[in-house]
Chain A
Amino acid sequence: MNLAAGSNQPAITYLNHETTVRSWLLTRDHKRIGVMFLVGVIFALLLGGIFAMALRIELLTPGPTVMAPMTYNRMFTLHGVTMVWLFMIPAIPSAFGNFVLPIMLGAKDVAFPRLNLASFYIYLAGSLLTVFGMLWSGADTGWTFYTPYSTVSPTTVTPILMGVFIIGFSTIITGLNFITTVHTLRAPGMHWTRIPLFVWTIYGTSVIQVVATPVLGMVLLLVAAERVLGMGIFDPSRGGDPVLFQHMFWFYSHPAVYIMVLPAMGVITEVVCAYSRKNIFGYKMVAASTFGIAFVGFFTWGHHMFVSGQSTFGSGVFGVLSMLVAIFTAIKIFNWVATLYGGSIDLKVPLLYVLGFIFLLMFGGMTGVAVATTSLDVHWHDTYFVVAHFHYIMVGAVLMAFLAALHYWWPKMFGRLYPERWSFLAAMTIIFGFIVTFLPQFLLGNMGMPRRYYEYPREMQWLHVLSTAGASLLAFGFGLIAIYLLWSLRYGAEAPVNAWGSRGYEWYSGSPPVPHNFTEAPRFEREVHDYTVAEVPRVY
């Protein structure tokens, strides 16, 4: 490969071979599209984070603090909509999946590069429409758009519904692109049993995206049509059934939790292997459990509806099916721990996030089993306990994995190293801040604090103050990360081609990679993350 003089970086990379704005906006290179998605989801994270801070500040005192009740309702809706649809669902698959998946398979690009670019612009259009709806007057329905309220709410729900509907197309296209890529573009030597586990999880996620997203799209379209035409599908006064909405909505939105968490698990697997210098303990079990979660995830939607009047038998069945997810998740957790055990552990920042991830996933997962128990759920339903549970499992897991991926692949993507001490401090702040934010909310929920409430009894104030303090720490940690990562883009030390000495296949390409990923066809002769064989570092 061609190296610049006096450096171990490739001279021509995907970043510098063309530098015009036009070459970025019309690119078909999956790496550039991944970077654009990364910028997009980080903006969404910032926006959702600002809404979250506003909520936490409002809840500092029992009565009104800084905003009116209606503003508060809009804030929590916008926080949820932004975080779920604009950040968590596309974050890892669309940004990091796009960047590393083809490289890991030894492919030059994804199967449909033009569709890939379209997927980004569809995401952008949907996001802009959603943000436009927010700025216009904002919805007050909560991110779940429950009917019949969402069909009559005087706020601007329709543009937000349509925005999320459009983003759904982006999700479907990305999913089908990845599935096709995995099936048709594997390089010679890339057998099914050699595919990196990150790719397996993205594949499983893509299957859920393709199967579940159309159902969500249609149900959002129905609510929008109901608002515009007064159709009455979900309006009981016209003979419709509001519970039907919940069935359709959760048929998508529960599997959507795994759209968020599965890629996160994939990242964690890569990082665990790289920093314990060992291949994963049980490759096949981890790959299979991905599909176990993806499959069972489709039969658990009823656990959102324990108190909606469905039959006791139905609730019981949904409860037991939901608990099955814990078994598949435990397979993964045991495998990560078993991989760490006896490994040559290098506690770099990405691995720190892995430890945070395992703690939050365990805690969130165990409380998940608790709320899947019908008798307990009747007590905790629609309280802060549920809020804390899903923040631990969805937000905690996605955030930890997102940050782990960001730090692990940063040198790969931009060819620069970030300052180790600052990143360590930021990681500790984030993990600690997260626990301080959401642990009190379990207690609040158990005391009976309902979700989405503007006011609360004075006895609960200290827990709310604690939670807001944690949120402030989180905000501080994010600020720190933003500063040193932006700093490193310009002033960071140049990264070696394989900054971590990882045996992941993506390091077979340059850091940053050349435009078509490889200068010659890569050969895959060992298992991924096989540290037992001696190997000269090589770049194709």
Chain B
Amino acid sequence: MSTESSPWEEHFGSRENQSQAAQLGMWIFLGSEVLLFTNLFVGYAVYRYYYPEVFVEASKHLKADWAMVQTLLLVTSSLFVVLAVHAIRQGRQLQTVLVLVLAIGMGLGFLGIKGWEYWEHWKEGALPGEYYRLAEVPERGGSLFFTLYFLLTGLHAIHMLVALGLLGWLVWGALTGKYTAEYHIPVEVGGLYWHLVDIFWLFIFPLLYLVE
């Protein structure tokens, strides 16, 4: 199998061709990911329209200041991923590893804060559906807000985990010298995926935490 020894696959006409295909495939996949989240955004719009006051009240039980920290972490990590792509294009493998590890660290920090936030919600009883026990916010609407909150942030967290795995795999590849100034397609498309996860959060954050 030629693919094991060389990263260039023989069914493509040229190297540019393979690179183009990988980019296009990833962009299409990202498009479909956006539509996956769209359902939840539509649900959010519908129920916000049904229960406007309850949604505002419920959102005050979220930790907007910590979410701000998360946002900064994510945006900065995206910058590091860009730097990784930049570095590997010039063949600097060690630098690539370094910035990728920094990005992974920030991603883990993000998830740590999220986990702690979930724990606080658990103690408070701000849980979805039939487990909802938050006395201060009416159950009708309140339980729906937290259902959507957990679905949106949970789905985002799952995507983060996948993306972190992807970055880890890129670190391994860069360490073993698989990626060079010539061959860096995985770093490019893996980076794209990380930016997608980042962008989702930039929609989720204002919708859930900031809008009044």
A525 to chain B, nearest CB (A): 18
Q: Give per-residue flags for A86-118: 1 if the beta carbon is below 8 A from chain B beta carbons, else 0.
A: 000000000000000000000111011101000
Report B-chain residues with C-beta under 8 Å of the C-beta of A214. Answer: 32-33, 35-36, 38-39
Please name the residue on chain B nearest to A172 by beta carbon.
B32
A176–B25 touching, CB < 8 Å? yes
B29 contacts the other chain (CB 8 A): yes
Q: Given A112-B25, A113-B11, do A248 and B39 touch, yes or no (CB 8 Å)?
A: yes
Q: Which of A218-226, A267-275, A341-349, A355-363 contacts B (4 or more CB under 8 A)?
A: A218-226
Q: Give per-residue flags for A504-530: 1 if the beta carbon is below 8 A from chain B beta carbons, else 0.
A: 000000000000100000000000000
B38–A215 touching, CB < 8 Å? yes
- Complex-state Cα separation, A213 to B39, whole angstroms: 11
B129–A229 touching, CB < 8 Å? yes
> Which residues of B (119-143) have their CB < 8 Å from a CB of A?
128-131, 139-141, 143
- Among A229, A239, A248, the residue within 8 A (CB) of B130 is A229
B33–A184 touching, CB < 8 Å? no
Report B-chain residues with C-beta under 8 Å of the C-beta of A185. Answer: 11-13, 17, 21
Please name the residue on chain B nearest to A235 by beta carbon.
B129
Q: Give per-residue flags for A179-219: 1 if the beta carbon is below 8 A from chain B beta carbons, else 0.
A: 11001110000000000000000000000001111110111
A231–B147 touching, CB < 8 Å? yes
B50 contacts the other chain (CB 8 A): yes
B143–A239 touching, CB < 8 Å? yes
Say what secondary structure dominates the interface of chain B. helix
Report A-chain residues with C-beta under 8 Å of the C-beta of B31. Answer: 210-211
> Which residues of A (391-444) have their CB < 8 Å from a CB of B?
none
- Complex-state Cα separation, A229 to B154, whole angstroms: 14
A455 contacts the other chain (CB 8 A): no
Q: Given A184-B20, A184-B21, A229-B130, do A239 and B141 touch, yes or no (CB 8 Å)?
A: yes
Report B-chain residues with C-beta under 8 Å of the C-beta of A176. Answer: 25, 28-29, 32
A240 contacts the other chain (CB 8 A): yes
- Complex-state Cα separation, A108 to B9, whole angstroms: 11
Report B-chain residues with C-beta under 8 Å of the C-beta of A248. Answer: 39, 42
> Which residues of B (34-54) have their CB < 8 Å from a CB of A?
35-40, 42-43, 46-47, 50-51
B24 contacts the other chain (CB 8 A): yes
- Among A172, A175, A240, the residue within 8 A (CB) of B144 is A240
A232–B129 touching, CB < 8 Å? yes
A239–B39 touching, CB < 8 Å? no
B140–A239 touching, CB < 8 Å? yes
Report B-chain residues with C-beta under 8 Å of the C-beta of A175. Answer: 28
B212 contacts the other chain (CB 8 A): no
Q: Give per-residue flags for A112-127: 1 if the beta carbon is below 8 A from chain B beta carbons, else 0.
A: 1101000000000000
B151 contacts the other chain (CB 8 A): yes
- Complex-state Cα separation, A244 to B12, whole angstroms: 45
B29–A219 touching, CB < 8 Å? no
Q: Given A176-B29, A222-B39, A244-B43, do A231 and B129 touch, yes or no (CB 8 Å)?
A: yes
Q: Give per-residue flags for A229-263: 1 if the beta carbon is below 8 A from chain B beta carbons, else 0.
A: 11111000011110010001000000000000000
Q: Given A108-B11, A238-B143, A241-B46, do A218 and B39 touch, yes or no (CB 8 Å)?
A: yes
A179–B128 touching, CB < 8 Å? no
Given contacts A218-B40, A244-B42, A248-B42, 15 further A-B contacts (CB under 8 A): A176-B25, A176-B29, A177-B25, A179-B24, A180-B25, A180-B28, A214-B36, A215-B36, A218-B37, A218-B38, A230-B131, A238-B144, A239-B139, A239-B143, A516-B11
Show 13 residue pairs from A and B whose CB-CB distance is below 8 angstroms, ordered by the A residue. A111-B21, A111-B25, A112-B21, A115-B25, A177-B25, A179-B24, A180-B24, A185-B12, A213-B32, A218-B38, A231-B130, A238-B140, A244-B42
